[in-house]
């Protein structure tokens, strides 16, 4: 029987494209899927490489070189556990399993410990770039068993996206760090998408732009400092015509956004770590608000308002670009600060410079701006917050006035700009030396005797705010 270098379990679009990518780079690979249709598709699209898959898990396992390297690309959750339970008894000691789905990082931690007890290597690896990235070069975030990663390093570097010759993959760190970083990547993605949606709303309902003008603005911005994959996609969306009606597709899509949970996970863990990421939180909340369509229709009728379209739309478009640039910086800053805190708390040993480097290509949040972010962490690897970098500070100072103007215009016209507004209040909070939180501490101590700290002495104190007299 022919022996294969690597096997893929799950031959859906992502798994199949990743396998084709590996075959393109000269690796002898095969796959397994319970669905005969997926095996047939693999054989059809992989004719050039004579790619064949297995319908029997046992035959699939026996076809692999020792130690076996098996990648899972199946839906996150119970299915991953089910596959591992079926797979692990027929593996040999020293074989390795790589979970490349969007698994929750706590599940990855649990699975790694369980498989270690069986003398099997395991690591979690986030993959970003969608089906096109999987086929031609994704960004990959592997973390966990370093020995297993070393055995996969050559393959992963070969198939990854490249920027300036650098592969968009690196060893992220121990434990579930790979899936954690991918989760935060997705949280940043949520925030960026919400900002682009709000920019669309501002242009359409605040500035009176037609779809063609909106498309032109996004396309123009994608030629400058806001150049990014998401900006490119957004510009293309506004040029796409619906075959059924002949209208632009954007006008035919219902305004109810769905999600798969990774944004929510990012928000949840940020609260566990007591670290603010308000724009990511607002992006998650905005998708939730969008689902209440019936209620929104009723309230729109109950609270009608008229938008006053300004005359200086050309100037406003320039200001909106600057506001969006500021907001995008803030998205990355919030996500990277969360990684900074998680690295310390969970002992992930994250290298933010390398993370910024591998995000520059292949992934959904790749952008021109990431080169500046990469340079910031290259100069100061221990940088706590992106806002502390001098180059980034210069960019903030030059765009901050426009952000304030765009937010003011939006509020005056009743446009919901929760993501834009959160980037400003987040920045204003961080740059405020003395916040009013002393009042909150006083209130907590008043009604709950929760104590407080003083400005003029060390220690913990409690005041007799309202002495009880007997």
**Residues paired with residue 99 on neighbouring β-strands, in sequence order:** 72, 124
Residue 311 burial (CB count, 10 A): 7
Residue that is written with structure tokens 């670009």 in the block: 321
Contact of 159 with 331, CB cutoff 8 Å: no
Q: Catalytic positions, please?
A: 182, 189
Nearest to 178 by CA among 99, 235, 66: 99
* DSSP character string of 274-295: T---HHHHHHHHHHHHHT-HHH
Q: How far apart are CA 118 and CA 50, in angstroms?
A: 34
CB 419 within 8 A of CB 191: yes
What token pair was written down for 150? 């070393």
Residue 143: closest CA among 127, 156, 124: 124
Looking at the chain, how many residues does it have? Answer: 470
End-to-end CA distance of the chain: 91
List all residues 6 or more positions away from 288 whose beta carbon is below 8 Å from its beta carbon.
none
Any residues with CB less than 8 A from the CB of 94 and at least 6 apart, and which?
66, 67, 119, 120, 121
Longest dimension (CA), the chain: 91
Burial 380-400 (b: 16+ CB within 10 A, else e): eeebeebbebeebeebbeebb
Closest CA to 407 of 254, 218, 199: 199
């Amino acid at each position: 029987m022919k022996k294969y270098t690597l096997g893929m379990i799950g031959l859906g679009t992502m798994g199949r494209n990743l396998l084709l990518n590996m075959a393109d780079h000269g690796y002898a690979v095969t796959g397994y899927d319970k669905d005969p249709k997926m095996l047939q598709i693999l054989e059809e699209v992989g004719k050039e490489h004579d790619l064949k898959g297995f319908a029997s898990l046992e035959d699939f396992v026996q076809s692999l070189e020792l130690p076996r390297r098996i990648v899972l690309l199946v839906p996150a959750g119970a299915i991953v556990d089910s596959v591992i339970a079926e797979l692990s008894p027929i593996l040999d000691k020293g074989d390795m399993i790589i979970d490349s789905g969007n698994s929750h990082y706590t599940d990855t931690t649990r699975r790694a410990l369980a498989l270690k007890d069986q003398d099997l290597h395991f690591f979690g690896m986030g993959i970003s770039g969608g089906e096109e990235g999987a086929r031609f070069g994704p960004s990959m975030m592997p973390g966990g068993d370093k020995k297993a990663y070393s055995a996969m390093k050559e393959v992963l570097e070969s198939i990854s996206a490249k920027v300036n010759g650098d592969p968009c993959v690196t060893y992220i760190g121990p434990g579930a760090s790979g899936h954690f970083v991918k989760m935060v990547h997705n949280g940043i993605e949520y925030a960026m998408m919400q900002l682009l949606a709000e920019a669309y709303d501002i242009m359409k309902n605040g500035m009176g732009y037609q779809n063609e003008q909106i498309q032109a603005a996004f396309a123009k911005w994608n030629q400058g400092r806001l150049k990014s994959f998401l900006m490119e996609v957004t510009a293309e969306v506004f040029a796409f015509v619906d075959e059924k009606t002949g209208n632009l597709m954007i006008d035919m899509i219902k305004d109810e956004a769905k999600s798969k949970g990774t944004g929510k996970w990012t928000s949840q863990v940020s609260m566990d770590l007591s670290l603010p990421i308000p724009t990511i939180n607002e992006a998650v909340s905005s998708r939730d608000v969008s689902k209440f369509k019936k209620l929104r229709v009723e309230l729109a009728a109950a609270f009608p308002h008229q938008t006053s379209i300004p005359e200086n739309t050309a100037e406003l478009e320039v200001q909106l670009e600057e506001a969006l640039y500021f907001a995008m910086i803030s998205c990355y800053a919030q996500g990277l600060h969360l990684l900074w805190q998680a690295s310390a708390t969970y002992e992930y040993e994250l290298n933010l410079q390398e993370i910024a480097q591998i995000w520059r290509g292949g992934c959904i949040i790749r952008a021109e701006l990431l080169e500046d972010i990469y340079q910031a962490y290259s100069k100061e690897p221990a940088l706590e917050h992106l806002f502390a970098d001098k180059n980034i500070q210069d960019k903030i100072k030059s765009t901050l006035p426009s952000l304030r103007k765009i937010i003011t215009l939006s509020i005056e016209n009743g446009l919901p700009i929760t993501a834009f507004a959160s980037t400003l209040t987040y920045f204003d909070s961080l740059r405020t030396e003395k916040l009013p939180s002393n009042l909150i501490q006083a209130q907590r101590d008043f009604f709950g005797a929760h104590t407080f700290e003083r400005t003029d002495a060390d220690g913990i104190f409690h005041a007799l705010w309202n002495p009880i007299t007997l």
